[in-house]
Amino acid sequence: MDKTSLKEKKHAYRWMVIPPFIIYLFVLAFPVLLSIILSLSDFNGGRIFGAGSLKLIGFGQYAKLLSDPYFWHAFRNNIYIVLISVFGQLPLGLFLAYLIYRRIVRLGTFWQGVLYVPSVISVIVIGIMWNLIFSPFGPLAEVVNDFNRSSYQNNLEKVLDNYNYQNGDAIEDAMIDDIIRIDSKAARKAFDDPDKGIRETIAVLSDDTDEQLVLDLSNMLSRKWSSDFLNKDGASMWPILFVTLWCWTGMYLIIFLANMQKINKETIESAMIDGAKEKSILRHIIIPELQGSIMNCSVLCISGSLNSFALIYSMTGGGPARITQVLAIYMYEKAFMGSPDYPMANAISMMMVAFSLLLILLTRKIQKAFGGQDDEN
């Protein structure tokens, strides 16, 4: 190949690369650079450049952010989502893919479709659906309450009989039957609306209500299932972590299954002839062959975990008292709710980018430590 022809090819390649490179600068590089500048400024709205409204003030926003307890709470919730993604979705997706690949379960194609469906449904739809399921009047509450209505009936009858015996008040049998009969309107009303049911019941029983009776009836008439416990800091993330696991495991199942189909079947057949069991095949053949895919899926898990805004916001609206808040929701709140704090919102976004890069680098270090290599396929 002569120099003229080589020069023409380089010139052609250059013009092929320049347009996508320019698009890359405007779509990705420029917003990142602008976000860094805004996080170091005191910008409070208006024109960004040329109006004197932008002044760089250093790392004050980052220092303020690191002393903010809400930031660390949102950061902790993001850690939970990263952990359930990396150590939940990936191992479960790999295990399910192996069951289908090795035909340990029947109807493999059917299970592929069923498990993959949540990954293609809109995240907003999924969030609203699970919000209804976990609500106090949703199907989960109805099922749990139906299992507990018989015990509710027996306990309430004992409470009323005990109160009648100790206080000598005459309680008509018809009224007791009306309260404790589960199929009656009064019982259902008391069961579904505890506060109102308690008030009405006590008003009928006695003018001078007994405090112990109030306590006992409160315990008996309250729902056995209530989503109130999800408002507690220790349990608020459980439904979100469960839905996260349910929603995206199918996607990694498909990725792992597709890469398993590239493995030379003769290697597995030779191992089986030598007496290798399924556990050994998975550990010594399948997993080493999928190291590159596992690495790539880990990166997807980490980036997706930090981009969990839509699912959590549609399920909880940010959660009561910010209990289920993650960094993406906290950033949105700072940027668009109340009095906007653009520098703080951009500082949060930069912390998310730094956290994501740190986790990805850590993942690559771990992979290299175990002798893994990136997938070249």
Q: Which pLDDT tens digit goes with each residue over 100-133?
A: 988 888 888 888 888 999 988 888 899 888 888 8
Question: Pick from 201, 212, 227: which is nearest to 145 by CA?
Answer: 227
Question: The pTM is what?
Answer: 0.72
Q: What backbone phi and psi angles, to 5 degrees, belong to 188? A: -65, -40
Specify the amino acid at residue 223.
R
| Angle value at C-alpha 365, between 364 and 370, nearest 5 degrees | 100
pLDDT, greater one: 227 or 4: 4
Each residue of 50-99: pLDDT tens digit?
656 677 788 888 988 888 888 998 899 999 999 999 999 999 999 999 99
Report how far residue 17's alpha carbon sits from residue 20's, in angstroms, rounded to the nearest whole number.
6
pLDDT cut 90: percent of the chain above it: 14
pLDDT of residue 83: 92
DSSP code for 88:
I
Torsion angle (degrees, nearest 10) of CA 266, 271, 277, 278: -30
- Let me know: does 253 contact 116? Beta carbons within 8 Å: yes
CA pair distance 24, 31, nearest whole angstrom: 10
The four Cα atoms 73, 330, 337, 48 give a dihedral, to 10 degrees, of 130
Please give the pLDDT value at position 145: 64
Which range of 10-14, 167-171, 252-256, 330-334 scores highest in mean pLDDT? It is 252-256
Can you tell me the distance from the alpha carbon of 197 to that of 186, in angstroms, rounded to the nearest whole number? 8
What is the spatial distance between Cα 28 and Cα 23, in angstroms, rounded to a whole number? 8
Backbone angles phi, psi at 52, to 5 degrees: 70, 10
Q: Which amino acid is at 176?
A: I
Instruction: For residue 300, give the nearest of 376, 363, 371 by alpha carbon.
Output: 363
User: Could you please report the per-residue DSSP string of 195-234?
Assistant: HHHHHHHHHHH-SS--HHHHHHHHHHHS-SS-GGGGGSTT
**Distance between start and end Cα atoms, the chain:** 30
Q: Please report which residue ranges of the chain form alpha helices under DSSP H.
A: 3-24, 30-39, 60-66, 69-84, 90-101, 108-120, 123-133, 139-167, 173-180, 185-192, 194-205, 211-221, 238-260, 265-273, 278-281, 287-289, 291-306, 309-316, 327-336, 342-369
Reduced to 3 states, what is the DSSP secondary structure of residue 38? helix
Quick: pLDDT tens for 170-215: 444 444 444 444 334 444 444 444 445 444 555 555 444 445 554 5
For all residues of the chain together, what is the average pLDDT?
76
Q: What is the domain partition of the chain in residue ranges?
A: 69-135+232-369, 148-225
Residues 69-135+232-369, CATH architecture: Orthogonal Bundle (1.10)
Give me the residues paired with residue 56 across strands.
41
Neighbours of 319 (CB within 10 A): 20
Partnered with residue 41 across adjacent β-strands are 56
Burial 208-229 (b: 16+ CB within 10 A, else e): eebeebeebbeebbbbebebee
Residues in the chain: 377
Torsion of CA 248, 250, 254, 259, to 10 degrees: 70
The residue behind tokens 């039957």 is 177
Residues 164, 167: Cα–Cα separation, whole Å: 6
For residue 36, the one-letter residue type is I
Which one is predicted more confidently, 339 or 137? 339
**Chain centre distance of CA 81:** 6
Of the listed ranges 153-167, 211-225, 288-302, 349-363, the one predicted with least confidence: 211-225
